[in-house]
Amino acid sequence: MTAQMESGARPPGDAVETAPWVHLSRHGTEIGGEVPSGTPRGPVAAFTAAVKLAWEVRETLWVLVVRDFKSRYRAQSLGLFWSFAHPLVMMVSVTIAFRYILHVGIENFQVFYLVGAVFWQFFSNSVIATTGSMLDNAGLVKRTTFPRFLFPIATMLSHLILLSMELVLVFGFFFVFPEAYTFTSSLLAIPLLLLILMLMIVGVGFTTCGLNVRYRDIHYLTTSFITVFFWITPVLFRVDMVPPWLQPAMLVNPVGIVIESVRNIIMFGRWPNMTHVSLAGLSAVLVFFFGCAVFRRENLRIADYV
Amino acid sequence: MPKPLTVRASNLGKHYFRVHERPMLLREAAMLMAGRTRKVDDLWAVRHVSFDLHAGETLGVLGANGSGKSTLLTLVAGTSFPSEGTISTRGRISPLLTLGAGFNFDMTGEENIVACAGLLGIPVAEANRRMQQIVDFAELGEVIDTPIRYYSSGMVARLGFSIAMNVSPDILVIDEVLGVGDLRFQEKCIAAIKGLQDRGITMVVAAQAPLFISAFCNRAIWLENGLVKLTGTADEVADAYNIAMTGAGMFGEDLADA
């Protein structure tokens, strides 16, 4: 047995000599010299270290993402079919309700709704799932030293895989309703908008999942918050249908700006309003760093409460 | 040549609030802000613990249930942060606090090996290279392609143990998980641990059985209510612990069995 393990294993003594010291204290983590200085890394250093760490473990992160994604479908016999069926069923029923019962005068309502709903679902499902990600991964959080901030990110990325599949569905409907689509070079703006949305999700997710470990009602609060958020996000309507006094509420909501812009790109081939997009980007970045700060603070005690 | 220092605990302490219901809810946070605090007890699960470990040394941690052994181990493993003092480590840590932490029961043994090894810091390619070794050690053979939901609990535990043994850690933290599998497998585990010791891996092991401690460890500490009651060579501490526990008429027979 011993011989077997020695083959293909490196001599641990050498590795230890070169490995940096890691000091943990109640102030956080400090990496470096032999003797702890007692002043752990500041927020900027911690952030760059986290980015470096995430890059180092990217393979494992990907394994976690795929695991999260698969585990959502593995126990079901129809598996991924459900993730396509849900937006389709919603599209049909919402279109019937809005077009034929409420007589909303939006052209190509089915595509209008589908584009909005797919992005909205990405946002809302990711936020709700990331909120619970620490508790869902309790075993890993308590028993491994894998960087914890990657659990919410892994959850978000696994929803991103689903979104990319749903986008195939969205573009596939071009063959059914060609009149609803206009493809121009503005499609190039979609990755940027997606990035804004992802920053927003991770920002909110860090905040809620960090706090949810100590205050379990955050989960319910988040769910209610998402419901309210849905109605200030133009999924079922266009921003220009909103009365002027309510318009500012729409502009401070990065998710709404992203959805509106993506819809204009896919359906009308229009470049997004860059003022609005930069506003959305700015608030998403702010939310993101706020989330990082909350998470960094909570991280010290997460294992005690999980 | 002196072996390099790998673990240094200086005045380690872990403090908990003993509340009567957890988790705390928002209402309580609000009460706290309003100055209406509920009575909470202070609890130092571990306090004033210091030790140095060099590569190749094994520290045994003895103590009754609730004496702070597991808390100390989570601090060394770095899964929880100390409330006081510093724990400094150097090199890759493989925490073996519960077997099969991070297993996903819907995924196959193979997929779990890759995921788990990754969580312990092994790149995917390296995990695949060691796959056969891990499977052989766990004696799983064909069933490695089956979701571990269908494994027996012994099989799951063996797989967990095998992964932890085969990720070539620098520091191994083991919390009373050695009663795995049948007697033959246990002997194999012991041989594997001895092998790791020979290769210069630092270990921190919590155990109930003084016999085990004296067989494995160079040094030991005995915790009582979170404080160090005795520290010294493994034999000294194990003997003293044995006498104290059996002398008090408690657990005597259990110890003999173990």
pLDDT value for A193: 94
pLDDT value for B158: 86
Please report residues of A whose CB lies closer than 8 A to that of B57: none
| Whether the bond into A248 is cis, omega within 30 of 0 | no
B180: confidence class by pLDDT, cuts 50, 70, 90: low
Dig out the tokens for B215 from the structure.
């067989």
Please report residues of B whose CB lies closer than 8 A to that of A64: 115, 118
Q: Decide: helix, strand or coil at residue A34.
A: coil
pLDDT value for B258: 41
Report the chain B residue with the minimal C-alpha distance to residue A215. Answer: B25
pLDDT value for A181: 86
- Chain B nearest-CA distance from A200, in A, is 24
| Highest-scoring range by mean pLDDT, A194-198, B87-91, B159-163 | A194-198
In this complex, do A5 and B195 lie within 8 Å of one another by their Cβ atoms?
yes
A127: confidence class by pLDDT, cuts 50, 70, 90: very high
pLDDT above 90 for A222: yes
pLDDT value for A118: 92
A208: confidence class by pLDDT, cuts 50, 70, 90: very high
pLDDT above 70 for B39: no
pLDDT value for B250: 47
Q: Are strands B227-233 and B5-18 parallel, antiparallel or unpaired?
A: unpaired
B20: confidence class by pLDDT, cuts 50, 70, 90: low
User: How many A×B Cβ pairs under 8 Å?
Assistant: 171
pLDDT value for B255: 46
- How many whole angstroms separate alpha carbon B241 and alpha carbon B3? 29
Whether A11 contacts chain B with CB within 8 A: yes
pLDDT value for A223: 93
Closest to A170 (Cα-Cα) out of A114, A96, A125: A114
Q: What is the DSSP string of A176-242?
A: T-GGG----GGGGGHHHHHHHHHHHHHHHHHHHHHHHTT-TTHHHHHHHHHHHHHHTSTTSS-GGGS
Whether A14 contacts chain B with CB within 8 A: no
| Highest-scoring range by mean pLDDT, A33-37, A38-42, B169-173, B181-185 | B169-173
Is B57 in contact with B197 (CB distance < 8 Å)? no
- How many whole angstroms separate alpha carbon B98 and alpha carbon B92? 18
**Helix count and strand count (H, E) for chain A:** 15, 2
Of B25, B79, B86, the CB nearest to A143: B79
Please report residues of B whose CB lies closer than 8 A to that of A142: 74, 79-80, 97, 101
Average pLDDT, chain B: 82
pLDDT value for B36: 58
Whether A303 contacts chain B with CB within 8 A: yes
Total residues found in chain B within this entry? 258
Total residues found in chain A within this entry? 306
User: Taking residues B176-195, what's their average pLDDT?
Assistant: 78
Sequence-ordered list of residues with C-beta below 8 angstroms from that of B215, at least 6 positions apart, any chain: none
pLDDT value for A155: 94
Q: In a 10 Å sphere around its CB, with 0-12 CB exposed, 13-18 middle and 19+ buried, how is residue A26 labelled?
A: middle
pLDDT above 90 for A12: no
pLDDT value for B35: 61
% pLDDT > 90, chain B = 13
Of A4, A23, A139, the CB nearest to B133: A4
pLDDT above 90 for A201: yes
pLDDT value for A32: 79
Interface of A with B in 115-144 (CB under 8 A): 139-144
Residue type, A237: F
Phi, psi of B15 (to 5 degrees): -110, 135
pLDDT value for B253: 47
pLDDT above 70 for B185: yes
B25/B80: higher pLDDT:
B80
- Chain B nearest-CA distance from A14, in A, is 9
pLDDT above 80 for A279: yes
> How many alpha carbons lie under 13 Å from residue A216 in its C-beta half-sphere?
8
pLDDT value for A246: 82
Of B23, B98, B115, the CB nearest to A64: B115
pLDDT value for B252: 45
Write the ipTM. Answer: 0.80
- How many whole angstroms separate alpha carbon B135 and alpha carbon B137? 5
Is A24 in contact with B85 (CB distance < 8 Å)? no
pLDDT above 80 for B34: no
Dig out the tokens for A19 from the structure.
């490995």
Q: Decide: helix, strand or coil at residue B57.
A: coil
Dig out the tokens for A16 from the structure.
């230890």
A74/A253: higher pLDDT:
A253
Closest to A72 (Cα-Cα) out of A129, A145, A142: A129
Phi, psi of A76 (to 5 degrees): -105, 140
User: Taking residues B75-99, what's their average pLDDT?
Assistant: 87
pLDDT value for A283: 93
